[in-house]
Structure 1
Amino acid sequence: MATSKKRRLLERPYEEGPVGRPAETDRSGEQPVAVSIIVPCRNERTAIEPFLCSVLRQQAPPFEVLIADGRSDDGTRQILERFAREYPNVKMLDNAARFTSSGLNLAIAAARAPIIMRMDCHTQYREDYIAECVRVLEETGASNVGGAARTRPAGFRARLFAAAYRHPFSCGGALFHDENYEGPIDTVPYGCWRRELFDQIGMFDEMLVRNQDDEFNLRTLRAGGRIWQSRRIVSWYEPRTSLSALFRQYFQYGYWKVAVIRKHRIPASWRHLVPGAFVAMVLGLPLTVGAAAAIGIAKLAILGAAAWVAVLSVYAVSAASAALLTISQNGPAASVALPVLFAIYHVSYGLGFLSGILAAARNQRAVPARAADITR
């Protein structure tokens, strides 16, 4: 493709910046790179081109982009093939297993650089993102570095979903949602690592459909490593804007969190246990009331009913109060929409967590489709 046609590919309404290029070919015929970008994807036809344009504009050391495509059938592969033909530092890998963890490991195995960095198709990156990750990794000596989970929503609906995504009430006050925080942390979005870390603690756990990044970060910390969040590392994630997709996503997060806890015998954070405990109370107290009434223990039935009403009342008041505090930024609709979105985050995660516990208790090997199907 002529230079003018390449330029047209990149002349899109995204942030301007120079196109990332690998260095000159070395004697072996390979193009030396300082950073390997690894990207798992499947059926991302609408997101993959804006993502690649964002990455190729990076002001960064020479880098390669390794896209592990999980057998996409929506046209994503054709877009990737086009970019791979025209940009020598873009390569498509065939992720036959289709899951994120297998795609990450496939890309790591193919990576040639001493620094490996994960990126996500549903995120846009400031033009110095790669360079800042490398600088912070070198300056801090951390095992893994990243930035806060920022959003830059376009449109009314997207703003409400983004407000719920980053609100402390929905995420339990996780520091990686705090744009102003700089320092050690238990997890960061995506990740940037030195290659030798994978030699030391192993690759991503391919038994996990979700939460493989959380598990890897927990393994890093337990091996004595450090994870660092920097204000200088800036990207903007696009949260889901469908109620059903959001529910499926967080159900799966809850379900697979149990597998991570079983593996390490400890949660990465105690906040991961709260939604499951909440849902267990909401579902369990009515059963207690019914059983107590059936066997004639009136006092227990009354106590259980009062406790159930109290739990729901405290939650409703807390959710409404949290939403009302955002009206100045998100408008009056937030007072109605955000409590609903908060409930979806917590109930879906809690149900997934309880389902994971039941599956573990039954020693269930087959993974239910609702916990395995990766959808956007």
Structure 2
Amino acid sequence: MKVSVIVPIRNEEVHIRECLDSILSQDYPRECMEILVIDGMSDDNTRGIIQDEYLTKFSNVSLLDNPKKTAPTAMNIGIRRSLGDIIIRMDGHSYMDRDFVKNAVDILNKKPYIDCVGGPIESINEDYKSQAISLAMSSPFGVGNAKFRYSKEEQLVDTLAFGAYRREVFERIGLFDEELVRNQDDELNFRLVKSGGKILLSPFIRSFYYTRSSFGKLWKQYYQYGFWKVKVIKKHHQVPSLRSLIPMAFVMGLLVSAFISFFYTPFRWLLFLICISYGIGNIISASIICTREGWKYFFMLIFAFFILHFSYGLGFLDGLWRFCVMQGRGMQSDKHNGLTR
């Protein structure tokens, strides 16, 4: 089967070689693969690396421009230009295990009722701080039931990262929603499941993802996830999963109880209860990880968990305000326009 691997990128000079080398070294016939790199007009040396080291040596590698600079636009450019029976997304700061493509194709061949297959992603890091972030993002307490972050069992799921899709999926449910700067994968997968499609998580399909290297970048990433999740919910008039509402409920509980407690003393007990309950859960989850990975990560994990939850919840509330209140009044904001991940 012909396979198209689409790689949306912008300014990935640090990791682009590792990404492309992992695709080119797949245990799958190279003549049956094409690699479409969709660049969001990088202003570092990313394009030079691709042009000098890959386009001149590999006939199955192409470089296409993405003037709009967003991930869903890049994916749609790639899908329209692709020739594959199977379409795989791989980010520029990620790379594949050697048998990623072979195992994905084998599963789709053996299980014709599966529309998309992928596997757990292993978060990797480059320093001490990003290691703590990786551990937090690989924890059920940190990311809820986003099983592609940590599960090792084969199972049907509602979404995953770096999926291998049958081409007819896009013909049936449409392409990526280009209005979504974030959450475009989740929204596409939500449409797929809603239409009766099935997404399989397999432990035999492995990929590796470089996590954010600072708490500031982590905050921005998850704030945007929460913000754009509201757009997905508004579009479909349905909540894809309850896990997306929990951080918002946590932040709302904190803010409301803190505000009212200034005027009505009993609400201080509610604020205290929320803080204590969350603190206990955070400490227990961090301790479980530290017994396995080392206690040097303890305080970093506690802080990383808080950022994951509070930034997502705050972003969700911002999304409610902008998409449901301001747009309802005919006002819009471009504040959260962003680039490819």
* TM-score normalised by L of structure 1: 0.86
2:101 aligns with one of 112, 130, 146 = 130
1:344 maps onto 2:307 in alignment = yes
1:46 aligns with one of 2, 11, 14 = 14
SS state at 2:224 partner: helix
Matches within 5 A, 1:1-376: 34-61=2-29, 62-82=32-52, 83-141=54-112, 142-290=114-262, 293=263, 301-360=264-323, 361-363=325-327, 366-369=332-335, 371-374=336-339
SS state at 1:302 partner: coil
Work out the percentage of aligned pairs sharing the same amino acid.
36
Corresponding residue pairs, total: 334
Whole-Å separation in 2 of the counterparts to 1:81 and 1:158: 31
Q: 1:324 touches 1:334 (CA, 8 Å); kept in 2?
A: no
SS state at 1:86 partner: coil
Q: 2:125 touches 2:213 (CA, 8 Å); kept in 1?
A: no
Whole-Å separation in 1 of the counterparts to 2:99 and 2:175: 27
Whole-Å separation in 2 of the counterparts to 1:262 and 1:350: 16
Q: 2:226 touches 2:315 (CA, 8 Å); kept in 1?
A: yes
Whole-Å separation in 1 of the counterparts to 2:69 and 2:117: 26
Whole-Å separation in 1 of the counterparts to 2:49 and 2:240: 38
Whole-Å separation in 2 of the counterparts to 1:40 and 1:124: 13
Task: Give the direction of change, closer, same or farther, for the CA distance of 1:278–1:186 in structure 2 (3 Å limit).
Answer: same
Q: 1:150 touches 1:179 (CA, 8 Å); kept in 2?
A: no
Give unmatched runs, 5+ long, in structure 1.
Answer: 1-32, 294-300
Task: Give the direction of change, closer, same or farther, for the CA distance of 1:109–1:151 in structure 2 (3 Å limit).
Answer: same
Whole-Å separation in 2 of the counterparts to 1:130 and 1:375: 23
Q: 1:149 touches 1:176 (CA, 8 Å); kept in 2?
A: yes
SS state at 1:46 partner: coil
Question: How far does residue 115 in structure 1 lie from its aligned partner after superposition?
Answer: 1.1
Whole-Å separation in 2 of the counterparts to 1:64 and 1:155: 33
Letter in 2 for 1:232: F
Letter in 2 for 1:336: F
SS state at 2:63 partner: strand
Letter in 2 for 1:164: A
Question: How far does residue 241 in structure 1 lie from its aligned partner after superposition?
Answer: 1.7
Structure 1, residues 290-325: CA drift from partner, whole Å, max 9, x if none? 3xx2xxxxxxx1221110111011111110111011
Letter in 2 for 1:49: R
Whole-Å separation in 2 of the counterparts to 1:348 and 1:228: 29
SS state at 1:44 partner: coil
Whole-Å separation in 2 of the counterparts to 1:303 and 1:137: 58
Structure 1, residues 314-366: CA drift from partner, whole Å, max 9, x if none? 11111011101112322112221101000000011011100000002111653
Question: How far does residue 120 in structure 1 lie from its aligned partner after superposition?
Answer: 1.4
Question: How far does residue 368 in structure 1 lie from its aligned partner after superposition?
Answer: 4.0
Question: How far does residue 367 in structure 1 lie from its aligned partner after superposition?
Answer: 3.6
Question: How far does residue 154 in structure 1 lie from its aligned partner after superposition?
Answer: 4.9
Q: 1:149 touches 1:179 (CA, 8 Å); kept in 2?
A: no
Q: 1:58 touches 1:129 (CA, 8 Å); kept in 2?
A: yes
Letter in 1 for 2:92: C
Whole-Å separation in 1 of the counterparts to 2:108 and 2:10: 29
Question: How far does residue 196 in structure 1 lie from its aligned partner after superposition?
Answer: 1.2
Letter in 1 for 2:4: S
Q: 2:129 touches 2:300 (CA, 8 Å); kept in 1?
A: no
Whole-Å separation in 1 of the counterparts to 2:310 and 2:123: 23
Larger RCO: 1 or 2 (CA < 8 Å, sep 6+): 2
Whole-Å separation in 2 of the counterparts to 1:167 and 1:192: 24
Whole-Å separation in 2 of the counterparts to 1:155 and 1:362: 41
Deviates more, 1:202-211 or 1:134-143: 134-143
SS state at 2:84 partner: coil
Whole-Å separation in 1 of the counterparts to 2:172 and 2:285: 43
